[in-house]
Structure 1
Amino acid sequence: MCRFLAFHTKDSLSKEHVNALIKASRNDIFSKYGSHPDGWGLVAFVRNNSKWRVFYYRSEDPIYEDPYINTIIDVIKGEEIIGVIHARKAGSKFLIGLTHTHPYFTRAGIYDLYFAHNGSVSRQIFKEPNKPYTDSYLILEEIKNLIETNNITPFDAYSSVIERLKDYATSLNSTLIFYNKSGGPSILVGYYYNKNRLINETKEEYYKLYTDNKGYVFSSTIKYYLDKLTEIEELVLGSIVHI
C-alpha cells in the first residue's frame, strides 16, 4: 500500500498538503510497515495563457529523502494545476526501482493516461498474471485495452475495471488522469477498499480517502498530518469523483 495526494487547484501547490504527504510517507501511523520508502513520483499538468505543460517525475528514492522535492514543487505554478503525487510501499520487493514507481504512463487511442494506485490485487484475475509488472500497471493496461477495443471513454473504462476487480483487491484507491489535445487534462479518483480482504495488522483507517473540498483528495495518513484543517470529509466508498 502507498499514499497519494491528488489535486486540481490554481496558482501553486499547497505546501501544507505536500509536507503532510512527506510526513505520512516517513511515519505512517496507520500502517504496520511504518513508512513508504520504495520511491515516489508526480505528474502535474499546468495551464498558463491557455497552454498546457506537463511535469512528470519519478524517483526510486523515498520522497522524504529526495533532494529535488522542494525544487520540483516550487516550479509548479499556473492558472490551473491538475495532478497527483504518489509515495510507494512495494508489496513485492522484486518489483521495485524506477520502472515500478507511480504514476505510470501509457497511451490509449487519443489519450495520454497517467495512473497511481494504492492497494493490491490478486494477480490471477489478470489475463497475463506472470508479466513482470506490478498489479497496478496491469490495471492500467486493462483500462487502456478497454478504451482502444471498445471505443469507450476513460471514465467508463476506469469504472468497468474497478467493478471487475473489486472482489479480488484489498484496495482500488487510485487516480487516473487522462489528456487529449482538444479536451485538456481531467482527473478521476476512485475510492474502494474491500472490508473482507483487509490486512489484520493494518487499521481500517489506513484505507480511507478524504477531501478538503478545495481541490485536494488524499490518503488518511495525510489527513492525520493536516490536523489544522477542519473542513475535511471522507469520500463516498465505492465512488469515482472528478476533481
Structure 2
Amino acid sequence: MSHMASVPCFDQLRTKEQLGYLVWSFPDNVRGTMSFRVVIQSTVAHPIKLDERIEQFLQDFRKELAATTTETLESNKEGVINDLLEKTKGISQQLAHYWNEFGVINLLLLLYLFNGRYQFDRRSLVANVIARLSLENILSFYDEFILGSKNTLSKLSVQCFSKSNTIPTVTNEEAKKSKIHLVERDKILSFRKECGYNPFPYDIPKDFASTADTLVFQNQNDNSEGFQK
C-alpha cells in the first residue's frame, strides 16, 4: 500500500499543493509496531493545515486505490518483491539486515539487547505474502488501519512550530470531542507514565500506546514548520 501511495502523495502535496519542499511517505516498523508515515517540512503552511491536507489526501487516495488495474497492481507488487529479494551489495548491508533481527538499539551510547525475532529470512517471507495479495486485501487494510473504519486507527501527529507561529490553544473539552490528546514537549514523560502498552505478537519489551484516537505532539523551533503523521 505504501509503495502505491508514495508517488501520488508527493504529487498531490508537493507538486500540486506546494505545501513544502520536503514531502515523503514511507512504512515503518518499530519494535513490532508497524506504521505508515507522511512527513512534510514547510515554510509556507501552518502545521494544523498540513495535518488537514494529509488527512484529505488519504481520503481521496482511497478512490484512486480502488480504481487500480490488475496490471498496475502486479507491477507494484513486482517492484516491492524485487527490492526485498535484491542481493545485498556488501557486508555492511547484510549486517544491517541481520542486526535488525537481533533488535539491538543504541540508548544513550549504551547497547541494549532485547529479544528480537531472529527471523533472518524475513524478507523472503514478506515477499511471498506480497505475491499473494489481492486488491481486496489492500483495500480492506486501508479502510481498517488508514481510514479507521473499524475504530482501529491510531494516529500520532508530531507538529513543530517556528517562532513566527503561535501554538494554538485547545481546551480539554475540545480535545475530548475530537478524540485528540494534546501533549506538550515538557509533558512527554509524564504522559508516557499514564499510558498502557500495546499487546505484542512476540516476546519483546512492550511499547507505548495511546488510549486516544489521535496523539498530537507540538514543539516550537527556530526555522520551518513541520508535520509528521
**TM-score, with structure 1 as normaliser:** 0.27
Q: Which structure has the greater CA radius of gyration?
A: 2
Bigger strand share: 1
**TM-score, with structure 2 as normaliser:** 0.28
